[in-house]
Amino acid sequence: MKGSFCYLLGNPKGTARPATNVSTGNQLKGPTIAEPAPGSSTCTDVIDCPTDDKCRYTTANQKPFIAQCNWDYYGGDIAYKSTESMTKCVDVCSVTTGCVAVTWFDQNCYLKNNNTNMIYNNNVDSVHLEN
């Protein structure tokens, strides 16, 4: 930071040298916890986030979906339904033309035609069609 300007650098740039009126910092990464691989577990009858994060759920018409707990697929809405569970929301998506993902919270089911804009949100959960 220099004055009221903040410069965010992804990787070190150049060689460090002395400067006045400049503050710097480095982000230190703590130990990483291995996340389960998408589809490494199966949620059979119900998707229960956060317990079933990254589980594979296969619908009655044999479409495989992967859970993404605490993520919101922002945009791409093609329809809205009220469903009693995220599992029911995914079932609706599986029979809706163009639906490849859902975002669900509090009985609100948003059917999506893409899953490219992900935003972390611990109040919602999403599921996408497995590639």
Asked if residues 2 and 21 have their Cβ atoms less than 8 Å apart, the reply is yes
Comparing 35-44, 51-60, 86-95, 109-118, the range with the smallest average pLDDT is: 35-44
CATH no. for residue 89?
Answer: 3.50.4.10
Establish if 37 belongs to a structural domain.
no
Q: How many domains does the chain have?
A: 1
Q: Which range of residues forms the domain containing residue 60?
A: 56-129
Residue with tokens 């998506």: 93
Between 18 and 97, the higher pLDDT residue: 97
Q: What average pLDDT score do residues 10-16 get?
A: 53
Q: Where are the strands (E) in 6-63, listed by range?
A: 56-58
Q: What is the pLDDT of residues 21-54, one digit of tens each?
A: 666 655 444 445 556 677 668 887 899 999 999 9
C-alpha radius of gyration, the chain, whole number: 20
Comparing 15-29, 42-56, 79-93, the range with the smallest average pLDDT is: 15-29
Cβ neighbours for 107, distance < 8 A, ≥ 6 positions apart:
82, 83, 84
Please check the confidence at residue 7 and state whether its pLDDT lies above 60. no
Beta-strand relationship, 108-112 and 77-82: antiparallel
Between 8 and 65, the higher pLDDT residue: 65
Instruction: Give me the torsion for CA of 43, 46, 50, 55, rounded to 10°.
Output: 20
Establish if 48 belongs to a structural domain.
no
3-state helix, strand, coil in the chain (%, to 5): 5, 35, 60
- Predicted confidence at residue 31, as pLDDT, reads 47
Please check the confidence at residue 9 and state whether its pLDDT lies above 60. no
